[in-house]
Amino acid sequence: MTTQTDSPSAETAERRSWLREHSELGVCALLLALGVLVLTDALTMDVDIAQRGPVGPRTVPIVVGIGLLVIAALLAVDVLRGGRGQAETGEDIDLSEPADWRTVSLLAGVFLGAAGLIEPLGFPAAGALLFWGAAFALGSRRIDRDPLIAAVLSLVTYAVFNNLLGVPLPGGPLMEAL
């Protein structure tokens, strides 16, 4: 004998319960959408294959897009078969404590500030502020060494990307003076 629910609220509650138990399907949908976006962008990229050789700029995005689609499918199959994500655990994390919103806000401000300052100041100066600000937000208070480490790290990052990898970054007025 089958049982039927007489009230629509019981059916709604049952649907919500199923969605709550299978909430990882949202991650699957996100991975699927991201994979389709990456593949669409890679396949519509305008590339002259004669100039690039057999492995061109489409190769990595296509591999990443296919990988995202495969991971989305495998995760969906696992979730629908009853697999569940493991609850977050950590050796040195007290999960009963609330989030540290001050640190999160400081880091978000530092990232947004660095993004806004890259064009007028250039990457070396904005990167140094980013690295120093992140260290400060995460608790480092060594005024004697943190700015120096941030400046060196920013200049090395600029040199690697700009000179070795060929990714042009804005140098800003500081690099023009040097």
Residues 87-105: tens digit of each pLDDT: 666 566 666 778 889 999 9
**In the chain, domain spans:** 8-80, 101-177
**103-110 own/partner pairs: CB under 8 Å, 24+ apart:** 103/137, 103/138, 103/139, 106/133, 106/136, 106/137, 107/134, 107/137, 107/138, 109/133, 110/134, 110/137
Q: What is the pLDDT of residues 28-78, one digit of tens each?
A: 999 999 999 999 998 888 876 555 556 677 888 999 999 999 999 999 999
pLDDT at 87: 65
Q: Which two tokens stand for residue 2?
A: 């089958």
User: Mapping DSSP to helix (H, G, I), strand (E, B) and coil, where does residue 168 land?
Assistant: coil
**How large is the C-alpha radius of gyration of the chain?**
24
